[in-house]
Structure 1
């Protein structure tokens, strides 16, 4: 498809610009989109990663990014760098009342990510828009709107020109071809021909770009589709083999067993009872019981471990952008998925509870009264897996005890503090995970007594200096405002008087698993703590 948006009636659509930025940063990490966003690459080439998937860009490319996405830009070392980031709102006018209301990514039908190649008409309009925006002239708002609409006009009428392809772009197009036409007969020779490269050189470049061979990538796409069909349909193995591009069921079975470790029929049997996990913690408890849910919230950042290890086995990916903010969207997905049971912590709202109960039987376990061990046992009792839970907890306690002794030998009585940076503030991170696992099971020494600890208490730099821990774990919210404040922090004279800073004992930690309260997350907290303190990257 050539158009950025498809199947939309633009007659009643209004556009309103939020802001436009110009940047020469070679690397721009973890940008969270609150609005619709267009990135215009004036000069340079590199990669853009959006929610864990990487795309290649070149000079004059334009990337469309919906709200509630996380993206990072990385330009190649020797390329020039010049790009614009345009954020905007979309409104729809009601025909009857003539009133306009803000719409979001669910209302429009669009291509989630659209790369435009060699488009020369739009960049001059973007430069003009930026020049007008930076003048801060109150009357210029009319010119801004006019230019924004001209930009969209060019985007919507855009047709990709035929020209000599850049090698990396040509490789990217073949990967997209595999994703779309995996059921067809695909060979390295046919893909290389599409890229206008020799088969040998094409194979080398593909593996260099994606870290996986061409045939291995094709196989993974086909097997992931086979998993989905095995769980969601009653189709026989022979039919599924043909749907995903294999000539017979025996070849599919052989490939499936090589990759997954079990046959397609056994995989189907093990996944026959479709459990939907409604939140991160529920997923973590189920994984500890060796149950991969049929549906669960997944995100490459906020649930990175589950995303990396189970995304192909979790068939229905629920929205995990912000807890409880997209529940209506998730309800719609679950209704379509038709699970056998839905499992969730009891902190959900009455509206959510009522909507979930209309889809499938709902099992709620206590999130507020019971600790994570009791939660795991409660879930296990319901699933008749008490022995599995008891065995898991026994293994966990053994691992925690061995790890605690190992860490004691390594750091002695050194004090550790965990803080979170959000917007322009610093908070002591006193989550239940930190108190029960980090300071509890691992017996890490805090810089203050337990009775002085307050849940997520905001502190000043002076108060942080007074605590002066030997080691400092820092979780930084990955939005632009917070990242800018973090740059200010590390350049503050007071910051550099901290013992942890002077000893190079400051460790950056992510939200996953440190903010999740579940059995398997806590196992990862122990593993990641050991890796951080041994100097290994997590």
Structure 2
């Protein structure tokens, strides 16, 4: 560890003490699989034990120091008499904006997440700080809490000084290994990428990228394979019902479980149970033989302690393939589709040339098409990705993205199947759920799952424009069209233009124009109501987390700043970017009259909302902060149904 760089980051960090605990363990007691809810120091006061941080084991005696980051697994065993220790939990962050140098240092050093254990050269000095911290923490008055922070800095200063002198080696945490261990232990529970990233104290995007880079698989796909492998074991070794097995591996919908099992194993769960006798796992592994063994098996127990209510008993463990083979079934079916198409085309050509009647045949075909009913006519649609031929009136239509689903429903088309609201979820977008009752959920389809789409036998596939690379393969399964989010010259997404474009492709131009007319009427009426209520008062749209403030631009929110004519603060980011990260300290200079606050949880309160800076804002003091639903306000903009509901909520907020 480069102590100079470590000290530099500590010197720049903003620190918050979260908890200080004084614990005593007796002979035979153990801690298994406990995850640190925040970065923390462990200071041992008496006794000895074997302490493991993410599997790295240390023989610890009295007056020693250990450190680990948020999400690290803690195991304590081997207590012979008693083991007394203190835990000091803290949160450290570098305030924004920060220099490029500090950002690089933060990513390279991981100062608040590294693991180490050492015997200090002067342990009593540290012990005195720790015991004083514990005593002050127990006091309720504000002055004592301030003293806690002062003592903590003195403790860290002395610790860093001794670390520098002694040259203690450190271990950087392996985020992917921690994630895999968590998946293996908690696969039977609902798991979301955002939630796991929060547990590991990183962004969802960073965790997803690192996971894919190290394992060759997305996190959700990896989790699914764990669940399927465990389900195979239960099918072979128990007589449990299919529903029971599905629920026990975290897939409560038996129909979806049946479909996903068939995708990964190649046959249905029933046939698998009937056809396979017990074999070692590597002999009936239908998804390949390259297995991950970077995570040791560990058992967990529930620990009800503050932030740690998420600890549960282990549900099971399974080693799984790192890079599964592509589904042979999908390749065969796609090849067969192309072969039949080719054979059909060759046959027609041969017949026409063989009897010398190609001209007459063409005339006859044109005559037949002219008299065909609408249900058998063909329509050729040219677009940015090529041509799509739609035969007759599609009945089994599927939508691969929430925005596309919004467009379809607005045009009066209810897809037979639609994608979920986000990765890892089996729920439809909240604001569309009432219109999709009884329809099949495709799961998250940003990277289209061709086999699951093929299994639905669609007549028409509606995707989103960012899926361009998948167009050729999707169009082999069924005629495919992409809904576009059309931007103007400023970069603002224009819903009405986008809707008309898809309406024209689907032959629903009249319906699109009707939706637009009704929308414009509602927007004009609502704009007038808001104008009368708040005049030219400014409205800011942002999201707070414990790490940053995101200030959203007009790019996705034409509904607010154009259709409803809300007055944006002068400093709003340009529409070329959807949002901008700003410092909390910058908010008072913007000081809007109203704040729309994006929240994934209505009960969520961030640390920033408790600060003096936040409470000093005009909107906060006048009770003009409006918590808005993440599902609607993050996914709804750009879609006619979403924007209509946003208008209704905006009017309610600003005119009440």
Deviations 1:202-229 (A, max 9, x none): xxxxxxxxxxxxxxxxxxxxxxxxxxxx
**Number of residue equivalences:** 314
Instruction: Summarize the Cα distance change of 1:461–1:63 in structure 2 as closer, same or farther, 3 Å threshold.
Output: same
Instruction: Summarize the Cα distance change of 1:452–1:68 in structure 2 as closer, same or farther, 3 Å threshold.
Output: closer
SS of alignment partner, residue 507 of structure 1: strand
Pairs within 5 Å for 1:499-514: 499-514=618-633
Unaligned runs of 5+ in 1: 1-15, 23-32, 41-61, 72-83, 86-98, 117-143, 158-270
How far apart are 1:531 and its partner, in Å? 2.7
The aligned counterpart of 1:134 is none
For the pair 1:303 / 2:429, whether they are aligned, the reply is: yes
Pairs within 5 Å for 1:398-417: 398-417=521-540
For the pair 1:387 / 2:505, whether they are aligned, the reply is: no
Pairs within 5 Å for 1:134-533: 145=296, 147-148=298-299, 155=315, 273-299=395-421, 303-312=429-438, 314-315=439-440, 317-320=441-444, 324=446, 327-328=447-448, 330-350=449-469, 352-369=470-487, 371-422=494-545, 424-434=547-557, 436-448=558-570, 455=577, 456-476=579-599, 487-516=606-635, 517-533=638-654
SS of alignment partner, residue 304 of structure 1: coil
Deviates more, 1:101-110 or 1:412-421: 101-110
Rounded Cα–Cα distance in structure 1 between residues aligned with 2:570 and 2:613:
20
SS of alignment partner, residue 550 of structure 2: strand
Aligned-residue RMSD, C-alpha: 4.4
Rounded Cα–Cα distance in structure 2 between residues aligned with 1:479 and 1:397:
30
Rounded Cα–Cα distance in structure 2 between residues aligned with 1:418 and 1:344:
29
How far apart are 1:470 and its partner, in Å? 0.8
Which of 1 and 2 has greater Rg?
2
SS of alignment partner, residue 148 of structure 1: coil
How far apart are 1:115 and its partner, in Å? 10
Rounded Cα–Cα distance in structure 2 between residues aligned with 1:431 and 1:114:
45
TM-score (norm. length: structure 1)? 0.50
How far apart are 1:114 and its partner, in Å? 3.9
Any conservation in 2 of the 1:38–1:65 contact (CA below 8 Å)?
no
Any conservation in 2 of the 1:282–1:344 contact (CA below 8 Å)?
yes
How far apart are 1:471 and its partner, in Å? 0.7
Larger RCO (alpha carbons 8 Å, 6+ apart): 1
Any conservation in 1 of the 2:486–2:495 contact (CA below 8 Å)?
no
Deviations 1:35-54 (A, max 9, x none): 686999xxxxxxxxxxxxxx
Any conservation in 2 of the 1:65–1:112 contact (CA below 8 Å)?
no
Instruction: Summarize the Cα distance change of 1:444–1:146 in structure 2 as closer, same or farther, 3 Å threshold.
Output: closer
The aligned counterpart of 1:56 is none
How far apart are 1:348 and its partner, in Å? 1.4
Any conservation in 2 of the 1:37–1:65 contact (CA below 8 Å)?
no
For the pair 1:107 / 2:207, whether they are aligned, the reply is: no
How far apart are 1:336 and its partner, in Å? 0.5
Pairs within 5 Å for 1:14-93: 19=72, 64-68=188-192
Deviations 1:52-100 (A, max 9, x none): xxxxxxxxxx9931533789xxxxxxxxxxxx99xxxxxxxxxxxxx99
Any conservation in 2 of the 1:431–1:515 contact (CA below 8 Å)?
no
Any conservation in 1 of the 2:553–2:572 contact (CA below 8 Å)?
no
Deviations 1:237-279 (A, max 9, x none): xxxxxxxxxxxxxxxxxxxxxxxxxxxxxxxxxx961211111
Any conservation in 1 of the 2:602–2:629 contact (CA below 8 Å)?
no
Instruction: Summarize the Cα distance change of 1:146–1:402 in structure 2 as closer, same or farther, 3 Å threshold.
Output: closer
The aligned counterpart of 1:161 is none
Any conservation in 2 of the 1:415–1:469 contact (CA below 8 Å)?
yes
Any conservation in 2 of the 1:277–1:293 contact (CA below 8 Å)?
yes
Any conservation in 2 of the 1:415–1:446 contact (CA below 8 Å)?
yes
Instruction: Summarize the Cα distance change of 1:446–1:496 in structure 2 as closer, same or farther, 3 Å threshold.
Output: same
How far apart are 1:391 and its partner, in Å? 1.0
Any conservation in 2 of the 1:64–1:115 contact (CA below 8 Å)?
yes
Instruction: Summarize the Cα distance change of 1:356–1:417 in structure 2 as closer, same or farther, 3 Å threshold.
Output: same
How far apart are 1:153 and its partner, in Å? 11
Rounded Cα–Cα distance in structure 2 between residues aligned with 1:490 and 1:21:
31
Instruction: Summarize the Cα distance change of 1:341–1:146 in structure 2 as closer, same or farther, 3 Å threshold.
Output: closer
Instruction: Summarize the Cα distance change of 1:530–1:301 in structure 2 as closer, same or farther, 3 Å threshold.
Output: farther
TM-score (norm. length: structure 2)? 0.42
Instruction: Summarize the Cα distance change of 1:70–1:307 in structure 2 as closer, same or farther, 3 Å threshold.
Output: farther
Rounded Cα–Cα distance in structure 2 between residues aligned with 1:154 and 1:489:
35
Rounded Cα–Cα distance in structure 2 between residues aligned with 1:406 and 1:396:
15
Unaligned runs of 5+ in 2: 1-53, 56-70, 76-177, 201-214, 232-244, 251-294, 303-311, 318-392, 489-493
Rounded Cα–Cα distance in structure 1 between residues aligned with 2:580 and 2:314:
50
Any conservation in 2 of the 1:433–1:522 contact (CA below 8 Å)?
no
Instruction: Summarize the Cα distance change of 1:490–1:358 in structure 2 as closer, same or farther, 3 Å threshold.
Output: same
